[in-house]
Each structure stands twice: as C-alpha cells, then as structure tokens.
Amino acid sequence: MSNQQSGASLVPSRRALLAGGAAATLFVPGLAFAVSGDLAAIRKAAEKGYDASVKRIQDWIALPSIAAENRDMDKGCDYMMALARDAGFQHVEKVPTDGHPGVFATLDVGAKRWMGVYFMYDVKQFDPAEWSSPPLEARIVDKPGFGKVIVGRGAVNQKGPQAAFLAALHAIRAAGKTPPVNLVLVCEGEEEIGSPHFRQIVTKPNVLAALKTCEGVVIPAGWQSPSDGGVTVNLGAKGIVEFELVASGAKWGRGPKTDIHSSEKARVDSPAWRLVQALSTLVTPDGNRPAIDNYFEKVRPLTAREKELIALAGRQLSEADAKKALGVERFIDDLPWEKTLERLASQPTVNIEGLVAGYTGPGGKTVLPGRAVAKIDLRLVPNQTAEDSVAKLRAHLDRRGFQDIEINVGGGYDPTETDENSRLIRAELATYKRQGVPTTLYPRLAGSWPGAVFTSAPVSLPAGQFGLGHGSGAHAPNEYYVIESSNPKVEGLVGSTMSYVDFLYEIASAK
Amino acid sequence: MSNQQSGASLVPSRRALLAGGAAATLFVPGLAFAVSGDLAAIRKAAEKGYDASVKRIQDWIALPSIAAENRDMDKGCDYMMALARDAGFQHVEKVPTDGHPGVFATLDVGAKRWMGVYFMYDVKQFDPAEWSSPPLEARIVDKPGFGKVIVGRGAVNQKGPQAAFLAALHAIRAAGKTPPVNLVLVCEGEEEIGSPHFRQIVTKPNVLAALKTCEGVVIPAGWQSPSDGGVTVNLGAKGIVEFELVASGAKWGRGPKTDIHSSEKARVDSPAWRLVQALSTLVTPDGNRPAIDNYFEKVRPLTAREKELIALAGRQLSEADAKKALGVERFIDDLPWEKTLERLASQPTVNIEGLVAGYTGPGGKTVLPGRAVAKIDLRLVPNQTAEDSVAKLRAHLDRRGFQDIEINVGGGYDPTETDENSRLIRAELATYKRQGVPTTLYPRLAGSWPGAVFTSAPVSLPAGQFGLGHGSGAHAPNEYYVIESSNPKVEGLVGSTMSYVDFLYEIASAK
C-alpha cells in the first residue's frame, strides 16, 4: 500500500464514548446459533494454528520481492501461488503482465456468493542499517504498550494482514468447516511502484469474469487504533499521482549540465532557481490550496450525506489524539476539527514529498547545481483522474514558459468510491459492530490505494479495507505487526484472523 | 579555499595571442645578472630537491586535518609548525583561538622588505568511496594531457601549492643563498569551515605588528590554465556568506515536526511549501538578480578602470573555452562575452547550493516533510559586507512574515580589494611577464577567500593569489596537483617552486 496511510496516524483515535471490548465471545449476538457454534470451533482452530500462522508471516517476510529492485519477483510470485494453494484455493494461476506477474486464484465451495480479495506480494525497499533488528528476520519482539509484535519489512504492509486472512481459511478448514462464500484472489507484485500493470491482471477475461461475480473486493488491513481499537470504514479513497519535477541545464539549454562553482551564478542560469519559481506557481502563497490552472474543474463537491458523515466523525474522533499522533499543534488556517476532517475527505492537494538539488550533505558547498528535483504527490478526489491532473499540470507549466521542466510520473491511481449501501460496506459495519469495535464511517480515505482498478469500469465493484488487528511503520524502519496484543481493545493475530472469518460469514448471510 | 574557484573553470583559458613558453630560462631578462645567477643556482637546487618536495606533499596529505570533523587538528597544527621550522622560519608560534589554533612564523634575514604568506593546514572532508585512489595515499598518477600528478585530498587545496612555496625556501637555502625578503607566515586550521577565528590570529598584537611591516600577503595558488598556462591576477575577490535557510514545523508552530504521511497535506501546513515561497522572493523571476530588499544599497559600481580591464580581459579570454569548461551553452540573457565578465566581476549573487527536504532517495515516498532546507551562498562585492547582507536578508524575510525561517550562517568573508599599483600586484605581473605567462588583469575574482582579514583594517594590506603550476578538484574526489607537466606551457612542481623564488626576488627589487 504505497500511498495508504496505515497505523495510528491513519485511523484517528476516538473518544472513549464508543468503547466496547473487542475480546472474543464464544456466542456471538446477532448471528444464528449454528453459526455461533461454527465460529467457536473455528476460533479454537485459529488458536491451535497460531504458531503455524506466525511462522507463515515470518517465512513470507524472509522472501522480499521488491519490484523497484527487480528482486526475487518470480520467487515471490511462486511463493504467493503456493500460499494460495495451501490455503485451499483450487485454481491458482500466474498472470503475466508487461511487468511482473500477478496471481489469480479461486476457491469455489459452491456457496451462493463470491467475495474478492486483493493481495500484493511485493514490499517496499529497506535499509537494514536503519532497523533495530534485521528486516528479513521477522523477529518477535515485546513492544511496550502493544504486546508481542513481528518486526520486519512487510509485517503490516501487507504480509501480516494477508497472512491473517489466509489463516482464516486454514482455521475454517481445520475446524472441519467450509468457507461460507466462494473467493476470488487477485494479487500483484508491483503495488509499491504504483501498480503500473495491475489493470492488465484484473481485465484478463477469466479474471474479470470471476471478479464480476463478487460482492466486492477487500484488502486486508491492520489499522485498529492502538488506543481504543477503533476502525474507520472509508467509502472510497483519494487518488494519487506521484512524480518528480525536474529542472536541468540539460533540458533547459540554459545553466550548467553538472554542478559548477557557485561563483559562476553571476553569469550562469540556475536550474534550482527555475524549479523554485515553477513550484511557487503550483499552490496559493500559504501552500495550502492547489493553484494549477483548472485543477478544480472536475472536483465534485461533498454531498449532503458526506457532510453528515463528517460531522458525525467529528464528534467520534478525538482532535487531541490526532494532533498528538501527527505531532501538529494546529491545522491549516487554525480550522476547527470538523473542518479539518472535511478538508481531509474533500480537498485535492499538491504536496512536496522531497527536494533534492546540488549539495545535500552537512554544511555547505559552493556549487551551482545543474539539476534540481522536487518529488511531488497530488491527491485526487472524485471526479479528478490521474491522467487529467498530469495533463493540467503540463499545460499550467507550459503556459508559464516552463516547457523544459520534466514531469516524470512514477505512478498513480484514480480516486475510488464505494456505496455506503453496498453489501460490502454493510457487512463490514455489521462485523465491527458485533465485535464491539468503535467504528467511524467516513466519506473518503485521504490516502490512496489501487482500488480504482476495482471500483471503475469494467470491474465496477465496491472495494475497501477490512480487518481487525494493528501494525504500523509501512515503508519505514522497524515496521511491525501485533501478534499478541497487550491492549484488550486491539486484536492480535488470532483476533485478526477471526475478523476475516466473521466477515465472510457476514457477507454470506447479509441481506 | 572553500570558496575560491580553482583550476580550469576559475582561470578561463585565453586565446593563444598571448602565448609564450613558460619553460625555465637560465638567464632571466629584466633581472640583474647577479640575480640571474642566483636563480640558476636555486633552480638546480630545486631540481635536486624534487624528490624531497614530492615526499613533503605526500606526507602532508597523509595527515588530514578537518575542522568540521575535529580530526587531527592539533597534530595538523604541530605538523605545520615543523614544516615552517624545517623551511627556515626562526620564530614559529602556535596561536590559540576560540576554535582551532593557528600558526604564526617569521623568517628574518635582515632584508629590507617583508612579505606575508597565508597558509591553511586544514582540508575539506572526503568520501574515499568516490575516489579512484585512496585520498590520503597521495598516489602519483599519469593524467593524460597533464603529466604526472599527485592525487589526494588537499593536493591543490592547498598542500601542493603551499609545499611548492616551502620548496622555494629549501631551494634558496640549498643553493647557499639567503631569501631576498623577510617572511611572515600566518596559517589557520579552519579555512574549510569559513575561517571563523582567523581574525583572532592576525590581530594578536605581535602577529599584527609583523604583518604591518609586510608589502602584502600572498596565498600560493596552482591555477595555471591547463591549455595555455595563462593566469589571472585578480585585484580583489568577492565576499561570501554561506548559510542554510530552514523552514520547520518546530519553529513555525504550524505543520508537522517530523515527516508525516502526505495525505495529511489536506489539513496540515507544509514547511517545504513555506520554504519555496520564501525562496521565490529572494531573486527576480529569472533567478538572476538578487531581490532581497535594499540588497544593492552599498554596491559600488565598477570604476572606469575596472571596465577597461574587463574589456581587455574580454579580448584575452576565450568564450568558447569558458563555455566548454563550464558545460554551459549560453549565459544569462544570452549576454555577450564581455558582459558576462562584467557580471562575474561586478554582480552580487544569491545562489542555491542545495535543496534538501523530506524524501531524497530514488522514486517517491508519500511524506509531508517536517523540515526543508535550502543551502544558499551570497557573493558580495564592495562595499557590501557579510554581516550587513545577512541583516538585510533577515529584514526581508521578517517583512514578509517569514520570521520563523532560520538563517543558519556557516561562514563568510567580506569582499577584498587590492590596488593595481601596489608593489604586490606589480611584482606579480612582472614575475609572470618575465616567465612569458599569458596574464589577465581582472578587477575581481568571482570566488572568495579569507583575504578580507588582510585587506581590511587593522591589517590593511594588499593581498591575493600568486603562483604557477596547476591542479584541480578542490573539494571534489580525485583532487590533483601536477608535479611533472606534459604541457610545456604549464609548470610542474619545480616550475611552481621557481615562480615563488622569482616572485620573492621581484618583491625585493621592485620599485
């Protein structure tokens, strides 16, 4: 999930007013007695399978597939296929793309309904020097305030939650039961480089046909708030485009092609100043509103229902906790809490991820750089698209004479939208409610994920995150996933596993 | 010389119209026969001492004193003192400062005149991984088109040229002669961090008293053009201030204190955008003229004589060679050659040395950085000062509401000016002329050096670069200094040594 936000800062903590234990109950209110019995047996099996489930995560982490480095991609794909077979998928197929292959698998038990699941087998790059324990060793560590966690690259993004989903299928089988729904698994190996070929996988005729039978698609998530265990159900996600803006003497035909001595600034043009001047046109002077020409043209305003959900979220979520988690003293324009939630859901953004030019080490060095780079991400809301946004940016720069400034797009997804009344969302909410998990319904995740491939034509399905459990540190050092939680409001690996079991039963029975 | 520009790009190549062999002549026209005889004997001694001179450079390079890293500073100072004693200085004194110590030494032979020499015993940081041979090994390498060179940190900046100066004293003594002038040596160990305590050294009462007796101060230089061996005599140098401009959530009280997820841009302020907006006010939209309020207030326009010198330089120097050396296709505003030389000499600048914010690795990372840094240098012309320029920048930023943006000054020097009619400059020109070296007299070096400490009160002396020989790569990997030149127009170590001998004789006899 390169562009989702996971862990504490994604799911704002909420006031305790929605508190409720997420601990296991053998007899689940709101489900038929027979189903309750099934769930109890499956939980026992999940507990029995705990060691195997932990080992499944650890073994998976030990094999890092990194598309950006072309590292162990085929191995990673084969491993994913083996995991799917092992979990009971009868048809498991490698799907070649113009990039790295994906996986398509089905588990058909003759149930009435089909459910889609999205996996990725790749992980983000890492630098072992930054880690407290080797990132591929997947060590089990006591993390104060959290419990026992697995530390490793991919722990929460996405191997831990995905393994918990697979553990749910193992537990169902071990309990002598049959999954209550049929499953379609689609998996890619290029999520961390922006899913450039994922559409090729889902539109392969047999994959598309299978997906079209599904109620929706979930991506497993371990995003419970570490304080009260709360989760947010998002009715969609912002889109994103990531790119580098590059000003260079080579393209400009002015200024140096390499770094030269800075005394030459008196007579030589500076690509770094050119970049600064171009950047300064992209946002309002406060840096808070995109100023790219026509950028808001396709932006759909919030609906009355979306505003209502935001108002509700404002009462459920804690401003103080959010500020603390973000390390922020005040929001843009000192906006009140609800307005910040509104902006988070509704506003497209132009963000500087990074700046790199010339000398970047300690102190100074008297150079005039030949090249300057701004790493930018645009967050998109309906009905913006990644392609149109880049075209508008190109036109904006060209109109101001910055034709030479390159826009090197790394990847992007369109925004997604999923109907609140879809069976997927209703089942998610019902499952969380039954578990007593504080739940906030929110119009739009401010982060991004490749879900637009599912929500847009031709797949056109509801899609979103689902799952209990907690982890954090995606893309960062010391990424972790909780396997034994010391906080009764937050689930460990067994509770996470059971959240998927419950959800599949809910999907099977929901009206 | 942290801010001078050395080597090819500093000394623009010139047309061959001023060509003339720089090879040694035993009988030097323009000098008394007796002196010519002395010089011939000294040259023989210099040739005989070649191996020892090479070893002196190599041994010195093996001991890197790096103020920024507090590496071997006392050792380096002691080593410098031993080198001075070894070269014949009778009084050699360590001069403590609030930072690292300097060295003051005198060589008094009872001559009529005194001459000052400026040394530094520190070198710039280095990363051995970037070098073709170990930077402290000072390997002798065949460099095509140049001859035999010593490759090592400090080779040209400043140990090679300084060792050549010391070799001159060794050669004079070995030839049984006495230096024609008395010498004052002042040396610091903090040049590469901006000479923060050098003024304490030169204003120590006995040091100041000794300096006040001098004709001027030279810094040894190995800046012959690698094509035609030409040199430029600069009648001063621009000043410089180096600093970091830092925008941060911590100081601003807005935005994050660390890097947070970029989806939060919708409601969280961005220090990176703030830096961009502040930067964009510092120069005109083309990036080529400072726009700091009142920045030109103290700028003295070029004099008629300075314009005349620039016009002459324009005819002597080759535009094509300069563009090639810089890797630049066109200058600012497509200015004609002479105008670029005028700007180089006369225009203060605001240059971006580097930009650093957030994620700087390959590809992208969805963060909203808590801190953004621009590394800036200002080049100053008479009568600007470093202190006043920083004060003007502070006022400029404050006036625009950027009070939170930090200006972290790393170091700086005021501009220097030296009278064309001083004995120092006349002696330099006469020495070069006698050697047949193409010489360009130029109003002002566009680079910077700590010479303002000499040219301003209370020392108030002429000061500038002098020396034949060639090297390049100061501050860069594979820094080198030519010891045996394959180009007859460029001097090797013996020729460089003799240029100092000649110069001292010239100072002694010049009217």
Residue B125 within a domain: yes
Three-state DSSP class for residue B416: strand
Binning pLDDT at 50, 70 and 90, where does residue A5 land?
very low
Average pLDDT value for chain A: 92
pLDDT for A284 equals 98
**Do residue A97 and residue A178 come from a single domain?**
yes
pLDDT for B31 equals 62
**Do residue A405 and residue A457 come from a single domain?**
no
pLDDT for B208 equals 98
DSSP character for B17? G
**Do residue A231 and residue A270 come from a single domain?**
no
Tokens at residue B381, please? 């012309």
**Do residue A364 and residue A444 come from a single domain?**
no
Distance from the B332 Cα atom to the nearest Cα atom in chain A, whole angstroms: 5
Please give the ipTM for the structure prediction: 0.89
Distance from the B249 Cα atom to the nearest Cα atom in chain A, whole angstroms: 8
Residues A68-78, mean pLDDT to the nearest whole number: 95
Q: Are the C-beta atoms of A33 and A452 separated by less than 8 Å?
A: no
For residue A344, give the nearest of B266, B343, B369 by CB distance.
B266
**Do residue B446 and residue B405 come from a single domain?**
no
- Per-residue pLDDT 10s for chain B (511 aa) are 444 444 333 333 333 222 233 333 344 555 666 678 899 999 999 999 999 999 999 999 999 999 989 999 999 999 999 999 999 999 999 999 999 999 999 999 999 999 999 999 999 889 899 899 999 999 999 999 999 999 999 999 999 999 999 999 999 999 999 999 999 999 999 998 889 899 999 999 999 999 999 999 999 999 999 989 999 999 999 999 999 999 999 999 999 999 999 999 999 999 999 999 999 999 999 999 999 999 999 999 999 999 999 999 999 988 998 998 889 999 999 999 999 999 999 999 999 999 999 999 888 888 999 999 999 999 999 999 999 999 999 999 999 999 999 999 988 899 999 999 999 999 999 999 999 999 999 999 998 899 999 999 999 999 999 999 999 988 888 999 999 999 999 999 999 999 999 999 999 998 8
Average pLDDT value for chain B: 92
pLDDT for A475 equals 82
pLDDT in tens, A436-446: 999 999 999 99
**Do residue A125 and residue A267 come from a single domain?**
no
- Tell me the backbone φ, ψ of residue B258, rounded to 5 degrees: -125, 180
**Do residue B55 and residue B199 come from a single domain?**
yes
Residue A342 within a domain: no
Q: Do B287 and A267 touch (CB under 8 A)?
A: no
pLDDT for B182 equals 98
**Do residue A175 and residue A251 come from a single domain?**
no
Residue B434 within a domain: yes
pLDDT in tens, B155-209: 999 999 999 999 999 999 999 999 999 999 999 999 988 898 999 999 999 999 9
Region of poorest pLDDT, from A169-173, A257-261, A273-277: A257-261
Distance from the A280 Cα atom to the nearest Cα atom in chain B, whole angstroms: 6
Residues A150-174, mean pLDDT to the nearest whole number: 98
User: Strand B214-220 vs strand B114-120: parallel, antiparallel, or unpaired?
Assistant: parallel
Q: Which of B166, B60, B79 is nearest to B117 (CA)?
A: B166
Residue B314 within a domain: no
pLDDT in tens, A29-43: 556 666 788 999 999
Q: Are the C-beta atoms of A504 and A214 separated by less than 8 Å?
A: no
Q: The domain containing residue B363 runs over which residues? A: 239-299+348-413
Quote the CA–CA distance of B202 and B213 in Å, as a whole number: 13
Cα distance between the two ends of chain A: 31
Residue B311 within a domain: no
- Helix A33-48, helix A493-509: angle, nearest 10: 150
Task: Indicate which of A6, A66, A328 best probes the interface with B, i.e. most B CBs within 10 Å of its own CB.
Answer: A328
Task: Indicate which of B71, B264, B292 best probes the interface with A, i.e. most A CBs within 10 Å of its own CB.
Answer: B264
Q: Do A265 and B329 touch (CB under 8 A)?
A: no
- Tell me the backbone φ, ψ of residue A405, rounded to 5 degrees: -75, 120
Chain A contacts in chain B segment 97-156 (CB below 8 A):
none
Residues A112-126, mean pLDDT to the nearest whole number: 96
**Do residue A195 and residue A290 come from a single domain?**
no
Of chain A, the percentage scoring pLDDT greater than 70 comes to 93
Identify all chain B residues contacting A335, using CB atoms and an 8 Å cutoff. Answer: 267
Chain B contacts in chain A segment 254-283 (CB below 8 A):
254-258, 260-270, 272-277, 279-280, 283
Peptide bond into B383 cis (omega under 30): yes
Read off the CATH number of the domain in which A268 is found.
Answer: 3.30.70.360
Three-state DSSP class for residue B35: helix
**Do residue A380 and residue A265 come from a single domain?**
yes
Q: Give the total number of structural domains in chain B.
A: 2
Q: Are the C-beta atoms of A54 and A109 separated by less than 8 Å?
A: no
**Do residue A250 and residue A203 come from a single domain?**
no
pLDDT for B173 equals 98
Residue A4 within a domain: no
**Do residue A133 and residue A265 come from a single domain?**
no
Q: Which amino acid is at A147?
A: G
Read off the CATH number of the domain in which B51 is found.
Answer: 3.40.630.10
pLDDT in tens, B283-313: 999 999 999 999 999 999 999 999 999 999 9
pLDDT for B68 equals 84
Tokens at residue A41, please? 């047996």
